[in-house]
Structure 1
């Protein structure tokens, strides 16, 4: 596997010619680089006019490796070939380095570039990339890779220090300025071999990319420290690579650097995992127009009156402070009066405002402000807050925040926790990321007023008055939502079905002991059955069966235009109970489990004509033990299993064999029409399908 590394652009506020003179002083060896034992020039050539100089060196490196490994490898030193191409006309130096030792086992490549700053010709930019491919190394491949990574990190960290050291040495010698190269007259032309194969670093019509690139296209090391914090060289490399990948592949607006870095931190700088999670989040943001939410969304008056939360100054670290009086908020009333989507939008808007405030505070305080602090007042928390629909909405909100706003919460205070709080915490905490849970500080009664309390984190002048502080907190006090504002049962039903009527997707309920089945008649073999369904409630088992003879559905059900059975009040049993699997019918797709919240897409190429039955069965959780369940266990079970019914939304399409290369909208779909802010959609590429058709 090839490992790649990319450094940020480092800026030296000195002219290019002076930087190159400082760089050349490290040869043949440099006391500041102990591993750089020696170097010798093996070839040198210069263009006829003297503008281009190419030097090749063999460098001796004493790698900081275990003595045992050196003995096994049979070497004390490693040798690298370094090729330096200096273009004095265009003021660029390109350094290419590749290992000579063990080149059949390890390929280590490095490319460094010194160029003129695109906005200030008196400054110099430095950029470094590297790649490592350990093919085989006496069984120590992992160790060899770690040693190389350590070496790369050390060279990045020492690079600027070494240049600065040699600049000081030049100054001691009285050299503070070196004139730029000028085209010599014919009489002054430098004799020698003209370099025919020198790298094409300049084109009058297409100047060098590095020299003319926009500052926004690259990350500067000083910018990283100022706005993103202190990162290790490998962390910087991971950030730059992910940022470049987004610029190359994302046709829309790329996220800000802080946002990209949050996903890397949340995944411990696992490049592939961070890229996957970030791409899913960017798709979610695009689907729901989150980038425009703060400017376009108007909060309902009901939220303005009864949602008791708001922003309130900053904590001692400069983080924006959000105050939520959860115990004073009628969560059940808000759920009965508003849709779940509205509440999720409210939470998303809070997070978007938090990102904006962090960015503003970074500029104000002159240091990176990554996250905000949340202060939750639990006084008044009661059984009303454990209302099951409200808890389910809370779990959805947690999923949305965890997936799209990682590393945005710096610290969360839970104050005046009542005796009921452990019940709520037991329900919610398993769904919160472990790193996030570590940021929670819980205080019972008035414990927050003592040592280690709020005053250690928030200035007394900014602690809200209702918590014993000196500051008036201008947020709604909450209170009970009048029942006159509740939605009626009919309105609730209409809201649940609204998305169904607006899309091509149909809904179905799967009952325990009564699977939901769709019958499709296939006249021609090699047709394609495609499916796209969301599991919106419970867990289901999905299977496909084939029969040569038609099943006999209930009298109320008939075959539609595409051979689909119509919905009935009770799911029809298409597979006759007297039929024997393997004789009367066969399974053509192995049953697989689809979890709540998943979106599943797939296809099946039919091998025979006949009748195909798509079946969804209720999948129950493991039975509870015979011992009596506690209240918490009972609530948890009710949230997870949610009685004896599952719900799906589905879209089925049948493609005739002659139309396989035509329109295949269902195969191309990546989300179902049910996807919304309050729905967790997991894109599953199911391996159980017998075949997948593509263009």
Structure 2
């Protein structure tokens, strides 16, 4: 395997001639480069007009390897051949170095270049690249590759400081200006500072540099606008951008975007390029680049989506608040549909990218991520409505694929005991690196010294958390049914929110009950339900059988309208109610759950409240419900089921009579 290194562009704010004089002082040895213990000039020629000087050196370097490995390879020093071509007319120095030692086993090729900054003739640029290819090394190929590249990167990281040191030495000697080269017999210096047409320059002082899709990257620009990177990470970023510039005919993504995709793949360029390519295709297909300017959100989202941006955290990152516990998930989905909620999530992500960029320019330091504050007060089992969870998982999947490494920190506060259920469902869909950024606070723990005050300034603390700063976001709450999808779309929407229908419809005549039996094998399992009353008023019960029923009887009940609970059965003798009977009115939506304490057969029972006839239903002679239920086993929650006691008997109506 070939190891490759490519440096970002370093800029010395000194003329080329001064930098060259400092460079020459590195030879024959330098105390600042301990591994460089000797060099001798083997060839030195100059053209007739003196404009080009070609110098070859044989350089001696110490082998920096473990003692045992040095004994195995049998050498303490390695020799390199360095060839320098200094062009005084063009004001550039090209350096090429190859190894002489072990040349039949190892190929090392290093290329360096000093040249005049294309935008400022008084500055000098420096670039460096290297290839390491170990073909055979006594079975230590992988070890030598890693060791060689590690030592190489450690040494080159000192390169800029070394030149700066010798420039200071020149100043001490009174050398602060060196005239430019001029042809013999000429009084005017040659002024041939050609700009390489293949280079597109980033000025590190340019406030719009990040948006210009340049081919090269300056090291100081990276530190100012992108962040502190190791030399190897800088190399991967530079290589990634150069590869894309050769493949991408259109405008390149921003440098921070490239870095995000690299980080998400642990700086694997091939994987990052594949993921970015898929993301760019997705963005084009869904017109994501214009979502901030073109997309209009419906009234339900504007009034009942309890989320929004709120100042910054203490590290300068934009802060987004999501009051999930106050969100009517089902009402929003039935009002706007899943696709609209997805677009809302994409809108938030695009806003986050825009705000981080603005924060970078205003704060004077790189801000590449944003902070998410999730308030779970009010969260209960109704938030685990299956279509809502499915929509959430789809949003997470899309965000993880197209907006990797955008979250710097996620603060989960006022987490109720039901939260482990939701977390268990969604956490497996969140990238492992992203999961490490989550901090959880139950109850009022967020008010402790290690809580929100550590991350959010006192002046920016939200008012609903006891702070003085007013949060300008919707308060959430139930979405009125007059905002639900019209023209018969309610039933259709319930069936299309997921890939396949998970709801069943049933009609009931007076005196008829519909029963669903649930076999619970492990105490501590949770039975959840969600149903809509389409016509008439319905009574709902949750029962547990106290007598055994033949499997054939249960099977017959499952296939038809037979009832398990017979007319002659008595409560307390044949069955018991584990939830109080609830009257559900025409048009209501109900979600709830029951935490089982015993094994056995449980019954979900709906029956028409025949003592009343709902006039608004048009005197229908039949009642109708659409329902969905699910049993959640204890094992599915990895031991967290004991925290669900507060979720017991949680009924919630999404429309108040």
User: TM-score under structure 1 normalisation?
Assistant: 0.68
The residue aligned with 1:151 is 151
Is 1:402 aligned with 2:423? no
The residue aligned with 2:441 is 443
The residue aligned with 2:76 is 76
Output the CA distance in 2 between the equivalents of 1:482 and 1:18. Answer: 74
User: Does the CA contact (< 8 Å) of 2:325 and 2:376 recur in 1?
Assistant: yes
The residue aligned with 2:565 is none
The residue aligned with 1:184 is 184
Shift of 1:204: 8.8
- 1:107-147 CA deviation, whole Å, 9 max, x = no partner? 11010000000111000000001111111111111121122
The residue aligned with 2:374 is 376
User: Does the CA contact (< 8 Å) of 1:427 and 1:632 recur in 2?
Assistant: no
Output the CA distance in 2 between the equivalents of 1:56 and 1:208. Answer: 26
Residue 347 of structure 1, aligned match among 345, 348, 351: 345
The residue aligned with 1:612 is none
- State the secondary structure of the residue aligned to 1:431: coil
User: Does the CA contact (< 8 Å) of 1:94 and 1:112 recur in 2?
Assistant: yes
Shift of 1:399: 0.3
Residue 259 to residue 210, structure 1, CA distance change in 2 (3 Å): same
The residue aligned with 1:104 is 104
- 1:454-496 CA deviation, whole Å, 9 max, x = no partner? 1111111111111111111110111111223222585368789
- 1:367-391 CA deviation, whole Å, 9 max, x = no partner? 1112111111111112221111111
- Of the structure 1 ranges 431-440 and 99-108, higher mean CA displacement relative to structure 2 is found in 431-440
Residue 220 to residue 61, structure 1, CA distance change in 2 (3 Å): same
- 1:152-178 CA deviation, whole Å, 9 max, x = no partner? 212321111110111111112111111
Output the CA distance in 2 between the equivalents of 1:63 and 1:220. Answer: 31
Residue 390 of structure 2, aligned match among 385, 389, 392: 392
Residue 250 of structure 1, aligned match among 223, 248, 251: 248
Shift of 1:208: 4.1
The residue aligned with 1:49 is 49
Output the CA distance in 2 between the equivalents of 1:203 and 1:5. Answer: 33
1:288-307 map, 5 Å: 288-307=286-305
Output the CA distance in 2 between the equivalents of 1:116 and 1:493. Answer: 70
**Where do 5+ consecutive residues of structure 2 fail to align?**
204-213, 502-598, 603-629, 638-657
Output the CA distance in 2 between the equivalents of 1:271 and 1:223. Answer: 21
User: Does the CA contact (< 8 Å) of 2:118 and 2:193 recur in 1?
Assistant: no
Output the CA distance in 1 between the equivalents of 2:61 and 2:6. Answer: 22
User: Does the CA contact (< 8 Å) of 1:118 and 1:212 recur in 2?
Assistant: no
- 1:48-85 CA deviation, whole Å, 9 max, x = no partner? 10100000111111121122222222222111110000
Output the CA distance in 2 between the equivalents of 1:627 and 1:44. Answer: 94
- State the secondary structure of the residue aligned to 1:318: coil
Output the CA distance in 2 between the equivalents of 1:172 and 1:628. Answer: 92
- State the secondary structure of the residue aligned to 2:379: coil
Output the CA distance in 1 between the equivalents of 2:194 and 2:477. Answer: 67
The residue aligned with 2:60 is 60
- State the secondary structure of the residue aligned to 1:414: strand
1:58-457 map, 5 Å: 58-185=58-185, 208-209=196-197, 216-457=214-455
- State the secondary structure of the residue aligned to 1:81: strand
- State the secondary structure of the residue aligned to 1:150: helix
User: Does the CA contact (< 8 Å) of 1:98 and 1:109 recur in 2?
Assistant: yes
**Where do 5+ consecutive residues of structure 1 fail to align?**
188-201, 499-506, 510-625, 638-695
Output the CA distance in 2 between the equivalents of 1:162 and 1:141. Answer: 31
User: TM-score under structure 2 normalisation?
Assistant: 0.72
User: Does the CA contact (< 8 Å) of 1:19 and 1:124 recur in 2?
Assistant: yes
Output the CA distance in 1 between the equivalents of 2:254 and 2:182. Answer: 42
Residue 87 to residue 273, structure 1, CA distance change in 2 (3 Å): same
Shift of 1:636: 7.0
- Of the structure 1 ranges 260-269 and 25-34, higher mean CA displacement relative to structure 2 is found in 260-269
Q: Which runs of 4+ in 1 moved over 6 A?
A: 202-206, 492-498, 626-630, 634-637
Residue 634 to residue 151, structure 1, CA distance change in 2 (3 Å): closer
The residue aligned with 2:463 is 465
Shift of 1:243: 1.0
1:462-501 map, 5 Å: 462-487=460-485, 490-491=488-489
User: Pairwise CA RMSD of aligned residues?
Assistant: 2.9
Output the CA distance in 2 between the equivalents of 1:91 and 1:110. Answer: 21
The residue aligned with 2:540 is none
Residue 425 to residue 14, structure 1, CA distance change in 2 (3 Å): same
Shift of 1:508: 11
Shift of 1:18: 0.6
- State the secondary structure of the residue aligned to 2:241: helix
User: Does the CA contact (< 8 Å) of 2:110 and 2:128 recur in 1?
Assistant: yes
Output the CA distance in 2 between the equivalents of 1:186 and 1:307. Answer: 76
